[in-house]
Amino acid sequence: MYKILKYSFFDLMRSRWSYVYFIFYLILGFVLLFLNNDVSKAVITLMNIIVVLTPLIGTIFGVMYYYNSKEFTELLLAQPIKRNKIFMGQYLGISLSLTLSLVLGLGIPFLAYGIFKSTAIFDFVLLLVTGSFLNFIFVALAFNIALSNENKIKGFGYAILMWLFLAVIYDGLFIISLLMFNDYPIDKFSLIATMFNPIDLSRILILLKLDISALLGYTGAIFKKFFGTNFGLFSSLLVLSLWVLFPILRINSKLKKKDF
Amino acid sequence: MIRIENLHKRFGKLTVLDGLDLEIKSGGIFAILGPNGSGKTTLIKCLLGMVIPTSGKIIHDNESVLHKWRYRNKINYLPQIANFPANLTVNELLRMVKNLRPKVPNDKELISKFGVEPFLNKKLGNLSGGTKQKINIILTFMFDSDLIILDEPTTGLDPISLIYLKKIIQAEKAKGKTILVTTHIMSLVDEIADEIVFILDGKIYFKGTVDMLKKETEQINLEHAIANLMEKENV
């Protein structure tokens, strides 16, 4: 697995898109920090961008990589190596290269700004951890979709729909349901509904840490009431890990029956 | 030696292999022929474990290959389409594949014979289709395995490389190896194949030497003999 990982990582790190992604974060980081001069505010703005953008990029990279390397994967499948090792290697290669772009792209401007002298260091680290989680989650989801769809166009379509659903539509449905069932006790429902969307969960996770009640929203407030800040952080990180774990398990079980 | 018994493969409603039986003894060049969609590639992929058969047995060197992976170390495979990670160099790709196999590679000679030294440090994404196919062939032949499977090996090759490819195939045969080739180019079959395995509708329709085929179909030309086989089925 490590051998495959190494090469797909190198392949991706040299791709033009990795650079574009890296430079985007670099510019974003510098602009936000040096024009804003308030680290907390910069972290909040970054959060809003990261929770939407990293899932999108993760999804697109995951699907594109799978379909583009289809023929090469067939060559690898004919080598004496287990199937799941090939795909896990590729999966980790993509996730790690995207995570590296994110961490370096945002890390450099923050280091230049002097993050180590600031109290916001933990907020910033949490932001990067959450962004990395989102990378791993959405690349895994994208692989799931690609593995289930032989047709490239269909696979791409479903992947984008999934992102759109989790990033935009889910929130809309959520709010509508909150309004419609206004008269009922819906604390538990909204708590569970948040767990089922990694993007919402990440947002709440960061806001809990930043401790900005005004931005928490209804679910965030319930989260805080229910779990308290620390336990809330811990449990949302745990659920994010499950969001990585389950798609990976499905990839592995799907691979056992898949024809290439 | 390969023994395939009652192999079935269905993709949804489509039956591709329908109770295929085949025995291939060691040594020699076997051309697997058949019209498009007859199940040639599916058969090869079943053998390599890329396609999982619906039912049936595949025995290679007295061992069942289903759901196993170590046996692939004894097989060299040339895939139909050569498409490699665009941002790796040729050298890196060679190193990667060498890393995956616990065998001693023999790539130096192949590299010089195919004249790809100038490309060794170039990115694979910048190579032409023919050069990629040469790399593909080098990757296939650089290991010493008893079974070699070639899926449409001649695609995109220039005449010199084609001549050299035929030479390699003959040389491997001389070493007593078993070579399975699928191709649509009948002159290649006529030139190199010891035996023909003709697949139609997921079954072996004919197996024997080129001469046997010509005799059976009463044709002097192989191309016509094969066409005759296909037409017979349609009648």
Q: What is the pLDDT of residues A17-60, one digit of tens each?
A: 899 999 999 999 989 888 877 777 888 888 899 999 999 999 99
Inter-chain touch B50–A260, beta carbons under 8 Å: yes
Mutate which of A64, A65, A77, A90 to test chain B, going by most B C-beta atoms within 10 A? A77
A118 pLDDT above the threshold of 80: no
B129 touching A, CB under 8 A? no
Residue bearing the bigger pLDDT, B153 or A159 = A159
Tell me the shortest Cα–Cα distance from A28 to chain B, in angstroms: 27
**Nearest C-alpha neighbor of B159 from the set B187, B178, B182:** B187
Mutate which of B47, B50, B84, B133 to test chain A, going by most A C-beta atoms within 10 A? B50
Q: Which residue of A has its CA nearest to B124?
A: A11
SS3 for A101-128 is: HHHHHHHHHHHHHCHHHCCCHHHHHHHH
Tell me the shortest Cα–Cα distance from A78 to chain B, in angstroms: 6
Inter-chain touch B49–A10, beta carbons under 8 Å: no
Per-domain residue ranges for chain B?
2-234
Cα–chain center distance at A74:
28
Cα–chain center distance at B9:
19
Residue B97 with chain A: CB contacts under 8 Å: 79
pLDDT band of A246, cuts 50, 70, 90: very high
Contact criterion met (CB below 8 Å) for A4 and A86: yes
The predicted complex's ipTM stands at 0.87
Q: Domain of A95?
A: 2-257
- Token duo for residue B234: 């349609």
**Angle in degrees, CA B187, B192, B194, rounded to 5:** 120
Q: How many domains does chain A have?
A: 1
Q: CA-CA distance, B206 to B220, in Å (whole number)?
A: 17
pLDDT tens column, B147-183:
999 998 888 788 888 888 898 999 999 999 999 999 8
Contact criterion met (CB below 8 Å) for A240 and A205: yes
Inter-chain touch B69–A72, beta carbons under 8 Å: no
B12 touching A, CB under 8 A? no
Inter-chain touch A7–B88, beta carbons under 8 Å: yes
Tell me the shortest Cα–Cα distance from A56 to chain B, in angstroms: 23
Q: Which residue of B has its CA nearest to A78?
A: B48
Mean pLDDT of A68-88: 91
Looking at residue A88, its pLDDT comes to: 95
Q: CA-CA distance, B225 to B235, in Å (whole number)?
A: 15
Helices (H) then strands (E): counts for chain B:
8, 10
Of the candidates B48, B50, B83, the beta carbon closest to that of A72 is on B83
> Would you tell me how many other CB atoms lie within 10 Å of the CB of residue B67?
8
Inter-chain touch A11–B139, beta carbons under 8 Å: no
Inter-chain touch B100–A3, beta carbons under 8 Å: yes
Q: CA-CA distance, B189 to B226, in Å (whole number)?
A: 11
Percent of chain A residues topping a pLDDT of 90? 48
Of the candidates A3, A10, A71, the beta carbon closest to that of B83 is on A71
Residue type, A112: A
Q: Which residue of A has its CA nearest to B82?
A: A71
Residue A259 with chain B: CB contacts under 8 Å: 11, 45, 50-52
Fold that domain B2-234 belongs to in CATH: Rossmann fold (3.40.50)
Residue A20 with chain B: CB contacts under 8 Å: none
pLDDT band of A123, cuts 50, 70, 90: confident
pTM: 0.90
Give the CA diameter of chain A: 61
Q: CA-CA distance, B97 to A200, in Å (whole number)?
A: 42
Q: CA-CA distance, A98 to A60, in Å (whole number)?
A: 11
| Distance (Å) of CA B139 to CA A68, A76, B99, B106, B107 | 20, 11, 12, 10, 8
Q: Are strands B75-78 and B28-33 parallel, antiparallel or unpaired?
A: unpaired
Of the candidates B73, B79, B100, the beta carbon closest to that of A74 is on B79
pLDDT tens column, B57-75:
999 888 888 888 888 999 9
**Nearest C-alpha neighbor of B232 from the set B217, B222, B221:** B217
Contact criterion met (CB below 8 Å) for A41 and A130: no
Residue B84 with chain A: CB contacts under 8 Å: 72
The label of the residue with tokens 């930043």 reads A210
B234 pLDDT above the threshold of 60: no
**Nearest C-alpha neighbor of A206 from the set A43, A58, A49:** A43
Q: CA-CA distance, B41 to A233, in Å (whole number)?
A: 52
Looking at residue A66, its pLDDT comes to: 94
